[in-house]
Amino acid sequence: MSKTASLLFGVHAHQPVGNFPEVLEDAHQRCYKPFLETVYRYPEFRFALHSSGWLLEWLFTQHPDDLALLTEMSHRGQVEFFGAGDMEPVLAVIPYRDRMSQLAAMSDRIEQIFGQRPRGAWLTERVWEATVVPALVDSGIEYVMVDDYHFLCAGTERERLNGYHSTEEDGRQLDLFPISEALRYRLPFTPAADAVAFIESQAVETEHAAAIYFDDIEKFGIWPETYHWVYEQGWLKNFIEGVLNSPSIKSVHFSDYHAAAPTRGVVYLPTVSYSEMGEWTLPAPAAQHYAELVRVAQEAGVLERDRPFIRGGIWKNFLTRYPEANWMHKRMLGLSARLASLPADQVRQDLVELLHEAQANDAYWHGLFGGIYLPHLRRAVWRALINLERRLDSLQTRPAQFSGDIDMDGIDEVFMSSLSLQAVLRPDKDASLIELSSYPLAQNFADSLKRYAEHYHGKAGSGVSTPVGEGIASAHNVVRFKHEIKPEDLIPDSRSRGWFAETWTDFDSKRPVEYTSTVVQGGAVLCMGQAGDGKEATRIAKIYSVRDNRLTVALKSVGNGRLSTRLNLAMPSCDGPAGRYVVNGEIPGGFGQTFTWNELKELTLEDLYLGAAVRLQTNRPARIKVQPHFTVSQSEAGFEKVMQAVELSLTWEAEDVTEVQVRVDISSLG
């Protein structure tokens, strides 16, 4: 028997729900279009494709020629389509009922467009938990892709990773293909001939040996340097021709291999994702410790052997790292439960689709990828959540005011709502609003993000690395800068970035106001707190109320000093040209600038992108300072500063007993 290897080659195409049209179009021109046109010229080259439903819908409406190519390749048996959750959720963090509806929506979409019903599925970010097995099997999925790293973490020998294994959960069997990390890091970054030679090296004189690859299609054109390398220099063309001309490589579909080859045996995998995710999901101190363990193992020459056992955290840790992500997630779960409780005749498809959009994974996490740092991705989730809640309220009434520990932090949040506005107070020391959602505008104006310490911030001064040897560098190994990063940009926040966090200043001593009690009184919420301790403490009271499209906040202080409050307004225009301030009928500038006004009683923020205005009025003139709130994060394109919110600080001189009131009106422009 001659030595052969079956090449099982698949690509995963995804764009986050809510991504900018120009980003989608750029991805199409640099990746999706040239990739499809290239593989189309080689009918004998078998490949698998998974595309998230939102991206597939965009291609269907904006670039039907791409869909026509895919349809023809499907009819001639060249492409195998993989299913998944339709809006690319992490299946492990949504309920079983939503896993089923997401999987069914994706499979129905593929079958309707291409005439195939998927047998295989892509797991978002390769996040594996055994609890997802029942929904996958119940929806008709026979096999999924995970990393070989998953198997190594379970102690599986490397030589057994050239085929699929089987697992079970709650009486359902699912087969698992291990993706070769060695191939993931070679394709397309090493020369095509070297990549083909590596696949040939996997050939053995036994039947059913497989080289398994399934990774992001965006590496073929969107990652830095890859468009020139993959298409202009012909890497993909040379790779495909090398595969087809090799006597020891067979280009095979996953489905055909699965039907012909027996399982390599039973396996039970731990809860895990790819190895980089284990580092990204840890808090900064723990991530630094993890990185140090990896470094020591690497220097000792045992990293390859020990890395499966030097594991970091799991994907769900992002919900503990970022309270903003946890709040979105728990609000989503609450609305999912409300939707599930409706009578069957009231469950409409548009409600299900909104829930699916709210479960899109990108805005819930962060690493080299992930998008919690990107306001437009969080905004897409919030837009779906708010629209869904508004429609559910029309079918299923709820109290205008209620409390409950929604985010599982041990503190009951207080919800205050009208037909137009919902404010959510977290009664912690700041007693600030963590949500201020406008139903007509489908916008959460409190959707900001704190400045966190990230473990990679230490790389900000390390400069730019260069590729080693032939080929190009992976984005995992390169430090780039989209913006200048200064040390002060990396200082983490010590307080929340919600609405109305107070500070008291006297005798040049500046202290945060800490609230210790919250009382619901009629339609308002009273918060009692103080700045300082003992007899010198300054007492502060704060009252929130919501009516129609107006939020009113009253502050009362007892003492002599300065009372300040800080608001962080999430405005969709950020520092773009569509966001501007209006003061006394004049436009001094935009949200990306810093201004200070003395003795001001009214300030309007107009967002032309949103088509809305936020007007603040105070009963006493205030010193108002506005400035952009930036965070520093990294992506495959490099370090960047991202504007999260407009930070407003209002300050009043206080003597004896001082009462101030701030009214916030939110309305559409025009």
Q: Which residues are catalytic, by number? A: 125, 216
Structure tokens at 608: 């032309």
| Residue 392: CB atoms within 10 Å | 20
**Nearest Cα residue to 189 out of 234, 233, 220:** 220
Question: What is the C-alpha to C-alpha distance for residues 122 and 214, in angstroms, rounded to an integer?
Answer: 9
| Segments in 158-213 forming alpha helices (H) | 181-186, 192-201
214 Cβ neighbours under 8 A, 6+ residues apart = 8, 9, 10, 11, 12, 48, 122, 145, 177, 179
Residue with tokens 């469950």, as numbered in its chain = 347
Residue count of the chain: 670
What is the bridge-based pairing of β-strands 47-51 and 79-81?
Answer: parallel
C-alpha distances out from residue 137 to 88, 93, 119, 122, 131, Å? 18, 17, 10, 13, 11
What pLDDT was estimated at residue 465?
Answer: 43
346-385 pLDDT per residue, tens: 999 999 999 999 999 999 999 987 799 999 999 999 999 9
Bond preceding residue 34 cis, omega within 30 of 0: no
Structure tokens at 341: 């409780």
End-to-end CA distance of the chain: 77
92 Cβ neighbours under 8 A, 6+ residues apart = 127, 128, 129, 131, 132, 271, 315, 316
**Nearest Cα residue to 646 out of 502, 495, 446:** 446
The answer to whether 538 and 558 are in contact (CB under 8 A) is: yes
pLDDT along the chain (670 residues), means of 10: 88 95 96 98 98 95 94 97 98 98 98 96 97 98 97 94 97 97 95 97 86 97 93 98 97 97 97 93 93 93 91 95 98 98 96 98 91 96 98 95 96 96 96 98 98 86 48 55 80 94 89 94 92 86 97 96 97 96 97 97 97 98 98 83 97 96 95
Beta strands in 152-198 (DSSP E): 165-169, 172-179
Burial 225-256 (b: 16+ CB within 10 A, else e): ebbebbbeeebbbbbbebbeebebbbbbbbbe
174-219 pLDDT per residue, tens: 999 999 999 999 999 999 999 999 999 998 867 899 999 999 999 9
Question: What is the C-alpha to C-alpha distance for residues 509 and 529, in angstroms, rounded to an integer?
Answer: 18
**Domains present along the chain, CATH in parentheses:** 5-273 (3.20.110.20), 482-668 (2.70.98.10)
C-alpha distances out from residue 630 to 328, 380, 570, 621, Å? 21, 20, 12, 28
What pLDDT was estimated at residue 38?
Answer: 98
What pLDDT was estimated at residue 324?
Answer: 98
Question: What is the C-alpha to C-alpha distance for residues 8 and 180, in angstroms, rounded to an integer?
Answer: 10
**SS3 state of residue 68:** helix
- The DSSP output letter for 450 is -
The pair phi, psi for residue 367, each rounded to 5°, is -160, -135
Q: Given phi > 0 = left and psi -120 to 50 = alpha, else beta, which region is 103?
A: alpha
DSSP 217-285: GGGTTTSTTHHIIIIIS-HHHHHHHHHHH-TTEEE--HHHHHHHSPP--B--PPSB--HHHHHHTS-HH
C-alpha distances out from residue 623 to 560, 566, 620, 648, 649, Å? 17, 12, 10, 10, 8
What pLDDT was estimated at residue 486?
Answer: 86
293 Cβ neighbours under 8 A, 6+ residues apart = 310
Query: pTM, whole model, 2 decimals?
Result: 0.94
